[in-house]
Amino acid sequence: MSARWTTAVLDPRTTTGGLAVARSPEGFLLKDEQALFPRQWLADRGLNVASEHGIGYLDGEPVFLLELREATALPGCRWQGLRQFMLEGDFLLYKVLGYAAQIGTWAREHRFCGSCGQPTVQVRGERAMHCEACGLRHYPRISPSMIVLITRGDEILLARSPRFVAGVYSTLAGFAEPGESAEDCLEREVFEEVALQVRNIQYVGSQCWPFPHSMMLGFHAEYAGGEIVMQPDEIEDARWFDIRDLPPLPAGRSIARYLIDLYVARRLGLPEPVLPR
């Protein structure tokens, strides 16, 4: 975490003042390009609050999340989705909001015990939802996934999902299944999506991906064999691109774009990019 931002479990009932963000089904509240507000200011707006969570400290100030049942129209304000914060603006703010989104999603999805179905309560001083009926505790979960850039000399393999923005190509990615290592997941996903074999798998870096709660493990791998056969309904197009003639690529702050830019830089002797953290 940034020295300016540290996560922490804060009790809204015993911590006064501080800053807060408000999240509704339509995104985060934004006013004059600001998403962090004095906590009391938000409390005075008459928002339909479902729950409140203390999520950390920003420059020493406690920060809270207000999870709303619905988006309320406020003068001079609008609601903006998390992806837009990732694409533009202050990256530190995006990190705060990304963490807030994950905590809010986890708390909303664990209002009832997954074992016995009874209501749960938040545990004081701990990021956990407790079921008093059966004693089970539910903690925030992270879903590990791999993302890989496959290369063949001056060529890189890029693909399109039907869900992508029109024209954009990216690296292959997929979620790990129980019992798999990250490398097992990588080899399986590559074969399922494009029917290729890879070799020389190397870990490059990771990135929190709060859509809604993934940890992207980034790899580089070399082409080992096979012809591209696209997985129906998952891959709309996949092909080899020369590093000097690339299609529209993912957002600059994403680990997908970092994997691509890093390989291109090393291949062409250019300054290496830095993965935002």
pLDDT digits (tens, 9 = 90+) for 36-92: 999 999 999 999 999 999 999 999 999 999 999 999 999 999 999 999 999 887 999
Cβ burial 101-117 (10 Å sphere, 16+ → b, else e): bbbbbbbeebeebeeee
How far apart, in whole angstroms, are the C-alpha atoms of residue 43 and residue 37? Answer: 10
Residue ranges of the domains in the chain?
5-103, 110-140, 143-268
Take residue 238 and report the two structure tokens written for it.
């996949």
Strand boundaries in the chain, DSSP class E: 5-10, 19-24, 27-31, 37-38, 49-58, 61-68, 77-80, 121-122, 129-130, 137-138, 143-152, 155-160, 172-175, 197-209, 214-225, 237-242
Q: What percent of the chain has pLDDT over 70?
A: 99
Distance between CA 229 and CA 219 in Å, rounded? 21
Tell if the pTM clears 0.85, that is, is over it.
yes
Give the C-alpha separation, 80 to 185, whole Å. Answer: 34
**According to CATH, what is the number of the domain 5-103?**
3.90.79
Q: Given this chain, do its domains 5-103 and 143-268 carry the same CATH topology?
A: yes
214-245 pLDDT per residue, tens: 999 999 999 999 999 999 999 999 999 999 99
> How many whole angstroms separate alpha carbon 43 and alpha carbon 110?
24
Report the chain's terminal Cα–Cα distance, integer Å: 8
* CATH class assigned to 143-268: alpha beta
Render pLDDT for 146-167 as a digit per residue (tens, 0 to 9): 999 999 999 999 999 999 989 9
